[in-house]
Amino acid sequence: MTAAGIFAASMQKFRSLSSIQAALRVGTVNCRSLVEHYLQQTEQYSHLNAYVEVWAEEALDRADRLDAKFREHPGAMGPLFGAVLSLKDNICYAGHEVTAASKILEGFVSIYSATAVERVLAADAILIGRSNCDQFGMGSSNENSVYGPVRNALDPERVPGGSSGGGAVSVQTDTCLLALGSDTGGSVRQPAAFCGIWGFKPTYGRISRHGLIAYGSSFDQIGMMGHNPADMAALLRVMEGPDGFDSTAALTQPPAGTIPHPASIACFSETIGHRGLEAGIRDVTLDFMERLRAAGHTVDEIPFDPGGGDLLDYVIPAYYVLSTAEASSNLARYDGIRYGYRSPRARNLEETYLFSRTEGFSEEVKRRILLGTFVLSSGYYDAYYNKAQQVRAILRRRMLEVFNSYDLILMPASPTAPWRFGEKSDDPVAMYLSDIYTVLANLAGIPALAIPAGNHPENGLPVGVQLMAAPGMDENLLAFGGGL
């Protein structure tokens, strides 16, 4: 074997939790050597700006403690023993700074940990650092961060996707095994697709949102990125379930039965025939469809709008009306008094609010607060907010109805390949339209898995597709993905 071959083989062993745990058990690696490897990777790829902060000393200390625990009680190790994770900068970890990549939360140290964080730590995972993201999870390119953009390792002139772009690159560059992110409208799945890895958004309410900095509370869900669905399933099992701190977190029991083999899969003709879909992405998606058929599954093209109308065109407007409405309310708490940044120019209470918010929020966040405030204002509430709620109900009903006849729904993850920096940043609407395929799962609250499906025929960049399942079918969906 050549030196490069040996290196590739040694890297391979860090690509799944089961192989890491097997190596830990026979002693070819220990937690310290794993963490040292990942820290080396963070240095090698620091120019991509995936991390806002690397917790090097802390991760090494924790590795030593876990190694000692394993020597003394090898049978007592938690299910995430050997899993090194990055944490998106909008998930709270006690004693650590968390800023949602914003200036307004500059210097804010969380006094408690998110429920998800407590659970992964209790399961013996190691947290290696805080990953960069779009401010408050608002964006699709990770260009909207107070720490500067994150670069895609496959082409550093292109975006990694967003808002969890740092998390996606942290996995892509092997600086950790798994990334914890959040997905309000695709922020885990789209960056996963852009970086050639797997991404998973669970059913709404599957994982507690306690300690996740709120963006759109009826959409937000903690999600994850990794090299394979089995690792993500292990992580999900640890984090999921009811939580006294979040009344929407409930373990939705999977509907009776599992996803059979062969499965019946629906693909909406409007999604595959959409005018905004790049031909190269359509080709990879059609190819993927053929692979599913070759594996024995049935894949039918069906209309999304059974009435032959343009229901799909309402997906983006409904999402952006409702998510900005919720954001405007959630972000009202950043007033310069309770958290983070306070403008030094302010001389009285009103100026404290005014200047702190003006200086602390980015353009994009302000645009959304204004839009959300507008759609909630008394004169426009019925015309926009209420209307969008009605549209959401119709969209959700349609998605759930499809699951009466099909096990899964297939669609692309993004209409385009990762774009170059600046290409869409002056045109917020173009940026919003790139979320066309991801926001449906959040509007409907269903689980969705982004799968690396191949390379773009023109530029060789990674292309992702998505499989969605009925609410509560999370583990089944991941198991199905693992069998592909």
Residues serving a catalytic function are 88, 163, 187
Spatial contact of 377 and 400, defined as CB atoms under 8 Å apart? no
Q: Which stretch binds ligand GLN (CB under 6 A): 65-73, 177-185, 382-390, 446-454?
A: 177-185
Listed ranges 138-146, 283-291, 295-303, 388-396: which one lies at the site for ligand GLN (CB under 6 A): 138-146
The 3-state DSSP class for residue 267 equals: strand
Q: Is-contact 401 334, C-beta < 8 A?
A: no
List the one residue from 149, 185, 191, 254 that touches ligand GLN (CB under 6 A): 185
Q: Pick the piece of the chain touching ligand GLN (CB under 6 A) from 182-190, 255-263, 287-295, 402-410.
A: 182-190
Q: Report the residue from 118, 231, 240, 435 that binds ligand GLN according to the rule CB under 6 A.
A: 435
| Other CB atoms within 10 A of residue 69 CB | 16
Residues 199-258 that bind ligand GLN (CB under 6 A): 215
Q: Is the dihedral of CA 118, 119, 123, 126 positive or negative?
A: negative
| Nearest residue (CB) to ligand GLN, 241 versus 428 | 428
**60 within 8 A of 35, measured Cβ to Cβ:** yes
> Whole-number minimum distance, CB 482 to ligand GLN, in Å?
24
- Least distance in angstroms from the C-beta of 217 to ligand GLN: 12
Token pair of 284 as six digits: 């990879």
Nearer to ligand GLN, 266 or 388 (CB): 388
Strands (E), 344-473: 408-412, 448-455, 462-468
- Report the b/e string of 256-293 with b at 16+ CB within 10 A: eeebeeebebbbbebbbebeebbebbbebbeebbeebe
Cα separation, 222 vs 220, in Å, equals 7
Nearest to 449 by CA among 257, 221, 267, 193: 193
Tell me the closest approach of the beta carbon of residue 371 to ligand GLN, in angstroms. Answer: 11
- Cβ–Cβ under 8 Å, residues 207 and 447: no
Window of 5-13, 170-178, 179-187, 398-406 that interacts with ligand GLN by CB under 6 A: 179-187
| Residue of 86, 99, 113, 163 that binds ligand GLN (CB under 6 A) | 163
Q: How far is the CB of 190 from ligand GLN (least distance, A)?
A: 7
The secondary structure element, H or E, covering residue 131 is strand 126-131
Q: What is the dihedral of CA 271, 274, 279, 281, to 10 degrees?
A: -30
Task: Please identify, using beta-carbon distances, which residue of 215 and 437 lies nearer to ligand GLN.
Answer: 215
Among 277, 276, 299, residue whose Cα is nearest residue 287: 299
Among 183, 231, 246, 326, binds ligand GLN (CB under 6 A): 183
Q: Which residue's CB comes closest to ligand GLN? A: 187
Output 101 or 408, the one with its CB closest to ligand GLN. 101
Nearer to ligand GLN, 113 or 163 (CB): 163
Q: Which residue matches tokens 């391979």?
A: 12
Say whether residue 466 binds ligand GLN (CB under 6 A): no
Task: Decide: residue 25, CB within 10 A, 0-12 exposed, 13-18 middle, 19+ buried.
Answer: middle
3-state helix/strand/coil string of 233-261: HHHHHHHECCECCECCCCCCCCCCCCCCC
Q: Which stretch binds ligand GLN (CB under 6 A): 75-83, 115-123, 184-192, 395-403?
A: 184-192
Pick between residue 83 and residue 413 the one whose CB is nearest to ligand GLN.
413
Give whichever of 219 and 355 is closer to ligand GLN, judged by the CB atom.
219
CB of 46 to ligand GLN, least distance (A): 25
Q: Which stretch binds ligand GLN (CB under 6 A): 36-44, 132-140, 330-338, 412-420?
A: 132-140
Instruction: Establish if 330 lies at the interface with ligand GLN (CB under 6 A).
Output: no
Q: Quick one: which of 138, 146, 417, 473 contacts ligand GLN (CB under 6 A)?
A: 138
Question: Is 62 or 130 the residue whose CB approaches ligand GLN more closely?
Answer: 130
| CA separation for the pair 14, 23 (Å, rounded) | 9
Could you give the C-alpha distances from 383 to 134, 313, 324, 329, 400, in angstroms and in order? 30, 17, 15, 19, 26
The answer to whether 184 contacts ligand GLN (rule: CB under 6 A) is yes
Q: Note the residues at the interface with ligand GLN (CB under 6 A).
A: 137-140, 163, 182-187, 215, 323, 435
